[in-house]
Structure formats: C-alpha cells, structure tokens
A and B are shown apart, each in its own frame.
Chain A
Amino acid sequence: METFLQLLIYGLQLGSIYALIALGYTMVYGIIGLINFAHGDFLMVGAFVALFAVTLFGLGFVPALLISMIITGLLGVSIERIAYKPLRKRPRLSALITAIGVSIVLENFPRALPFIGPAPRPFPQMIPMVKFNVLGVSTNSVQLIMIALSVLLMVMLQIIVTKTQIGRKMRAVSLDKDAASLMGINVNSVISVTFFIGASLAAAGGIFYASTYPMIDVYMGIVLGLKAFIAAVLGGIGNIPGAMVGGIIMGIAEIFATSINSDLGYGIGFVILIFILLVRPAGIMGKFTIEKV
C-alpha cells in the first residue's frame, strides 16, 4: 500500500507535466486542425529561458517561470504567424511537414549557439528542497509545489475556456471560422492567443520537468513531446479535459511500469497508444465525428 501511494505521487507529478504539454497539442489541433510537431520543443525553450533567467539575471522561481512562459508563448505566436498561417488554406500535410521542419530548427539552432550547445546542462534548484514523510510515503516540497502549480494552471485554463469571452471565441473559432468571423471575431488573433497559451503551458511543463529531473538539453522535447502527444490522443485530441486526464493516466502508467522494469516504462506509452487506437480511436473523451463534405 505504501509503495502504491509512493508510486502514485510520482505518477501524478509526471502526469501533470504530460498534461500541461498535452494541452498545447490538443488546443492547437482543436483550433486549426494541425498536429504541431514543434510543440515538444517549446518545453525545451521554456526550460532554457528559465535557466538563463536564473543563472544570468538571478531571478527567483516565480519570475523566471512567468518570463519563460511569456517568451515561449510569444515564440509560439511568431512561429504560427511565420510558418503555419501562410499554409492555413493548403492541404493539411503541408503544415504538418512544416511543423516537423520547425521542430528541427528549434532543436538544432540553439545547439549551434555557443552559449547553449549540444551538451546537457544542469538545471538549478529553484525551490528549497524539504523532504517529509506522510503515512510512510516520502515526498518533498518540489514535488508538491509542482503538482499544485500544474493543477492551478489547468484550473485557470479551464476557467478561461469555459467562462470568458476569449474562451467563447476560441470555442467558436475551433468549430467554424467563417461563422466566427461573421460575428466580428478576429480569427487570426484568436488563433494567436491559442498558440500563446499552448506554448506557455509547455514552457511551464518544461520547467517543472527540469526541476524534477535537473538535466536539460536541446533534444529534451522530443521524447517528452511524443509522450504528451500520446496523452493528448489518449484523452481525445481536441478535447481539453481529455488532455488533462490523458496526461495523468500516462504519467501514472509510466511510473508503475517503470517500477516493474525501466524499459517497460519507456514503452508503455506506445502500448497505450496502440491499445487506444484499436479500442477507441477518438480517445477517452473524444467524440466520434463524421467528416462533413
């Protein structure tokens, strides 16, 4: 029982990181129908921005997190404007291939910069580590704060999407861009806001990940991004609560599988993906939709 709870808390922590990243995949897919393969790299950018904010400017955790989220968010917006927007009315495959190209640039451009480079960097400990024991389960301040912050961000997102005017606009644009523009909604700016939110959540996810596994490099987004993508598909791509649930399930499954065998932990995500595609291809919370002509 204690081992179970112990694993569960690790699973929750990893799962909430997957969830944060999965949200960006699902929101972007929901609004422009694109699987943004460069999304995983946003979390790497976020981690590096935070690294520099702390090491060069001596900022604390909260300002570093906020600055990183804003800068990564703006990067997301610019990438959409430069790389994806011109292709919006083209076949979907063009944008998909472009996304892979953007991903390659995001990984290899910083790699060529002398102050980043290809070698892994240690990530600073930004929150004082206090360990404690509850009911025989050991946990620590970093872990609990990360989980709490992830939950906070997800609750904020859910409120934005369901209760505010920009959220209503996002849902309208994701359903019908023409009808939305006939309401006087500036579709382009709503898409930009969506990319901003998605990329900034990925940045937060990257920082939370680096705070737990404190080594970062330019390729860290590939595997993490892939797992978060699986989480988004698992929950039902395009569905926001689905991404949260999918992320948590992925994290818990991965930790439990790792406790049995570490290779199994790596592969479990793909097993889940194959299983879900066989049994319920629209994902846990996704709806089966018929493509209209």
Chain B
Amino acid sequence: MLEIKDLHVSYGAIKAVKGISFEVREGEIVTLIGANGAGKSTTLRTISGLEATAGGTITFMGQNINNMPPHKIVELGISHVPEGRRVFTNLSVIDNLKLGANLRKDKEAVKKDMKKVFELFPILEKRQNQLAGTLSGGEQQMLAVGRALMTKGKLMLLDEPSMGLAPMIVENIFEIIKEINNEGTTILLIEQNAYMALSIADRAYVLETGNIVLEGSASDLAENDEIKKAYLGA
C-alpha cells in the first residue's frame, strides 16, 4: 500500500533521513520505533508532503506521491495525526471534526462517521461545543485521532500518540488504534513508547540516526535482546 524506497530528507545541511526503505501492506499496523532525533517524525512529515524529499521515492497505492502538496495527499487517502496533537485550539470540538471532513461531499456519510467518532470517544460528544483548547491532553489526542478519522483515509499515520499522556489514557488510545485498524484502516505508527507500539503492531522497523537498523515482526523484535536493552528498559 505504501512503499518507501531509499528516502532521503535534509534540513539544510543536516541529513535527517539517510536512505531508508520500508513498506506498509494493506490492513497492517506497522511501527517505526527509535529514539529522539532518529528521523521518525521527519519520515511521517515527508510522506504527508510537509517536508520535501532530497532523494528516493514514496509510492502510495501505486502512485508516486513525492513532493505532492499535503492537501492532495490527504485527498488520495493518507490521514496524519501529527506530533503534539496540533488540534485547532481556537475552534470548537465539532468544528475541528467538520474540518477533518472538509474534502468530503457525501454529507450523510460524514454524519455517520461523526457518530462513529463519538462512539469511539464519548467524551468528545459531551464536549462538542467546547473550544478544543480547553480540553485535557488526552482529550485533545482523542480529538486529533477523531479529526484524522473524519478525513476517511485508507492509511493513518500516527505520530507519538502516547506523548505526555497518563498510562491509563495511553492504553485507552492504543485500544482504539487497534479498533480503527480492525475496521479496515491501515496504520503506520511511530512511538518512543516501544513497548506499547510493539504490543499492537504486526511488523516493526527500528530507526537510528536516519537509518533503519533492524526490522521484523513485532513479536520477534519484542524478544530481541538489543531492543529490550535499548528501548524496553529490560
């Protein structure tokens, strides 16, 4: 579904991603794990068109999407929950969700999806007229996921959904990510919380300073000694 080949990304003279290749197949949950500064967020931002590629190709459903403007990539079916949630704090919860659906013409389907988001996150329905800026961190993360769901992407990119959240809320969010995947959305997840990420993923890639150093099934990597030492605190 998504195929990255020899991707390079630079910020000026700094090479953030140095020729990585990986793929995400339809229906999977794939995770990229790695420390701060490994190039995880940059990779996601480049897939979504927020950063320019300095080399390599990104292919989504057979189409090259290198350096396409971000709004076109959303239209093709990639939704992106950005790092730090980035909800529109100056808009109400419901307006945030409506913006997620701004490209969609079928009003009935949008209504249905809005109902589904409220089923996944009942708290958002209660708070629908509140400004998003008044929500707690966990609620904002739910809104960020809900908003991305409203774009109706076939592939969802999730950037550090656990960041800054209490453990109980993290578990809740990860359950919902699994549920979203069960309902047919393919997921590419990046996380510093490698334990949580490996527990729900099918396959994983380990990123270190712009290179992929390990890959395999999530269950194998969870048993890998190096991974245990570096990321799982064992």
Contact = CB atoms under 8 A, between A and B. Distances in A.
B90 A184 contact: no
B69 A183 contact: no
Contacts, number: 64
A179 B102 contact: no
Contact of A181 (B69, B98, B148): B69
A186 B73 CA distance: 11
A293 to B, nearest CB: 13
A187 interface: yes
Query: How large, as a class, is the contact surface on chain B?
Result: 20 to 34
A165 B69 contact: no
Label chain A's interface by main secondary structure.
helix
Given A165-B98, A183-B151, A178 B50 contact: yes
A176 interface: yes
A179 B82 contact: yes
A182 B79 CA distance: 7
B115 interface: no
Contact of A165 (B70, B79, B102): B102
Contact of A184 (B75, B86, B88): B75
A280 interface: no
Interface in A166-213: 168-169, 171-172, 175-176, 178-187
Contacts of B151: 183-184
Query: How large, as a class, is the contact surface on chain A?
Result: 10 to 19
B89 A175 contact: yes
Nearest to B157: A182
Contacts of A180: 88, 99
A187 B88 CA distance: 15
Contacts of A186: 69, 71
8 contacts: A165-B102, A168-B102, A171-B90, A175-B90, A179-B87, A181-B50, A182-B148, A183-B151
Interface of B: 48-50, 69-71, 74-75, 79-80, 82, 86-91, 95, 98-100, 102-103, 147-148, 151
Interface of A: 165, 168-169, 171-172, 175-176, 178-187
Given A182-B148, A184-B71, 15 more contacts: A168-B99, A171-B88, A171-B91, A175-B88, A176-B86, A178-B70, A180-B99, A181-B71, A182-B79, A182-B80, A182-B86, A183-B102, A185-B99, A185-B102, A187-B71
